[in-house]
Structure 1
Amino acid sequence: MDDIIKLCDELESCKRKNICYKNEIVCTRALVNRYIDGDDSKRLKLKAQIRQHGRGLEQGTLSTISQSVSVMSLLVTVVSGGLGVEQTVSMLFAFGTLVVLLIIAIIGRWSINKFGYRDKWKQYIQVVLEDMEK
């Protein structure tokens, strides 16, 4: 697991325990300073990891769901029209496809709810790192 993810998890843990006193910047700055501890390479490593994880969980999940919907729509179209199968078979296939899409959407929403806080904390870490450069 990347250091940026570990820091985000630790920041979320502090927030849940009300250690941050509702001031995310102060908590983020303290944690980042403790992590970096004067080592400029660690600061650069955090910056690189923020860029690496730049898309964020929500965008990645929504992109995956969109791609799945497109592929499933194409499959339903091919099965129902292109192959000339019976209407019952194509309706069952369409229903099965919708169930699969629903499962993908539920898993995607669950992952956003479970790990979406990391995207928020990455933004705070990025702001603190930019402030440190001044």
Structure 2
Amino acid sequence: MPAIDVIDETFLAVPRERVAAEFADPARWPSYWPDLRPEVAHDRGPAGLRWTVTGALVGTMEVWCEPEGDGTVLHFFLRADPDGPPPGGRLRRRRWLRAESDRRHRAFKAHAFALKRRLEDGRPAGVAPSAFRPDRTA
């Protein structure tokens, strides 16, 4: 079992093709994971991507774009081990691994919410994406 196991879900009121396109561009990856080097293991088109990762962590990572109602559930999985032993004795290592998992989870959630704000383009909660037309005059 990997030492770092991050699982996250975020709903975005946009089609999954738009969400998947955000992760399909390798130029964006360093902004999401600056200390990881993802390599595509499986490109599933609008369903998302699976990567192997090296760098600070070694393992696998995935974004899965699941159609749900009028939008997409963005699933994120990171299963990896540190590249090298975590610092300190047994208790310190466990604390470091928990903190690292939490840090990675929070970082991805921040990216997911930023993506949600940008792609939903100001759509108020409860308004169907198909009915929302942003006012660009402001």
TM interval, shorter chain, is 0.3 to 0.5
**TM-score, with length taken from structure 1:** 0.33
**TM-score, with length taken from structure 2:** 0.32
Greater helix fraction, Structure 1 or Structure 2: 1
* Structure possessing the higher radius of gyration over alpha carbons: 1
Greater strand fraction, Structure 1 or Structure 2: 2
